[in-house]
């Protein structure tokens, strides 16, 4: 009997695990731009707040590249984006937000990246979170990509022993885990609609809603809205018996 020509065919990727409940504990979310905190893990952050977990959000860039037509004076626009972030986060119950103020959409120098790493390490040491959210490793936007690698290095530098999950915004992932956020989707949508300066350029609220609906396919039979994550560090909670 001859060997099959498909004997070395790799198996399909594993089905993403359904996360039955979020782990409890302090949360630190690293996001590249104002609005990524809602577009990416906004449902999860809202659910953390509902179960009483403290949540801190760090916004890495100033967001000024979000006005390509120059409708606003640049320095004033930075403040607009911060106000939108505070309003959006308030919709999901988060009031602890910090801004690093790095330039938005610029090529980051080694010095920039070193400073970002220093800031990420400081944030981890100060906050001592149990759960960290960061962009997943293959986000196509340069700022998202850079922040992923900065935070991964910071997690290693502090020997982080908690759970770190990568979220999707710019590029869809092959997820390790999915989370049903249907019960908080109205709040997530209300939060996304706080970013009027960005909705004027692109209906990202529609795009994110569609992505979250698509994520319901595997475990939700196409019903509701789900967020997807990649496991970056640590271990997922044990499955329910």
pLDDT at 237: 84
pTM of the shown model: 0.94
Cβ neighbourhood burial of 72 (10 Å; 0-12, 13-18, 19+)? middle
Contact present, 13 and 174 (Cβ < 8 Å): yes
Q: Report the SS3 class of residue 124.
A: helix
Cα angle: 56, vertex 60, 80; to 5 degrees = 90
pLDDT tens-digit profile, the chain (241 residues) = 568 888 889 999 999 999 988 999 999 999 999 999 999 999 999 999 999 999 999 999 987 877 778 888 888 888 999 999 999 999 999 999 999 998 877 777 888 889 999 999 999 999 999 999 999 999 989 999 999 999 999 999 999 999 999 999 999 999 999 999 999 999 999 999 999 999 999 999 999 999 999 999 999 999 999 999 999 999 998 875 4
- One DSSP character per residue, 165-227 reads EEE-SSS----SEEEE-GGGHHHHHHHHTT-HHHHTT--HHHHHHHHHHHTTHHHHTT-S-EE
pLDDT at 241: 41
Which strands sit side by side in the sheet containing 163-167, from one edge to the other? 17-18, 177-180, 226-233, 163-167, 131-135, 27-31, 55-61, 96-102
The number of angstroms, rounded, from the C-alpha of 172 to the middle of its chain's C-alpha atoms is: 12
Q: Which residues pair with 134 in a beta bridge?
A: 166
DSSP code, position 237:
P
pLDDT at 240: 57
The domain limits of the chain are 25-231
Cα(102)–Cα(140) distance, integer angstroms: 19
CATH number listed for the domain at residues 25-231: 3.40.50.10320
DSSP code, position 21:
S
Tokens of 96: 């602890």
pLDDT digits (tens, 9 = 90+) for 52-86: 999 999 999 987 877 778 888 888 888 999 999 99
Cα(58)–Cα(188) distance, integer angstroms: 18
**Helix %, strand %, coil % for the chain, to 5?**
40, 20, 40
């Amino acid at each position: 009997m001859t060997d099959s020509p498909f004997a070395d065919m790799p198996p399909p990727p594993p089905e993403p695990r359904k996360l039955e409940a979020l782990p409890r504990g302090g949360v630190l979310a690293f996001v590249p731009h104002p609005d990524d905190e809602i577009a990416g893990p906004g449902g999860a952050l809202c659910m953390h707040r509902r179960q009483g977990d403290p949540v801190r959000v760090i916004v890495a860039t100033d967001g000024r590249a979000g006005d390509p037509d120059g409708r606003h004076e640049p320095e004033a626009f930075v403040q607009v984006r911060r106000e939108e972030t505070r309003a959006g986060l308030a919709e999901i119950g988060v009031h602890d937000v910090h801004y690093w103020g790095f330039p938005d959409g610029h090529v980051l120098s080694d010095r920039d990246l070193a400073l970002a790493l220093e800031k990420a390490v400081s944030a981890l040491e100060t906050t001592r979170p149990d759960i960290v959210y960061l962009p997943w490793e293959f986000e196509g936007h340069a700022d998202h990509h850079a922040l992923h690698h900065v935070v991964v290095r910071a997690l290693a530098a502090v020997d982080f022993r908690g759970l770190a999950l990568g979220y999707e915004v710019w590029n869809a992932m092959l997820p390790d885990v999915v989370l049903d956020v249907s019960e908080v989707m109205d709040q997530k949508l209300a939060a996304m609609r706080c970013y009027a300066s960005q909705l004027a350029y692109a209906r990202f609220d529609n795009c994110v809603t569609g992505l979250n609906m698509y994520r319901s396919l595997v475990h939700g039979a196409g019903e509701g809205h789900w967020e997807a994550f990649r496991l970056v560090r640590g271990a997922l909670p044990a499955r329910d018996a």
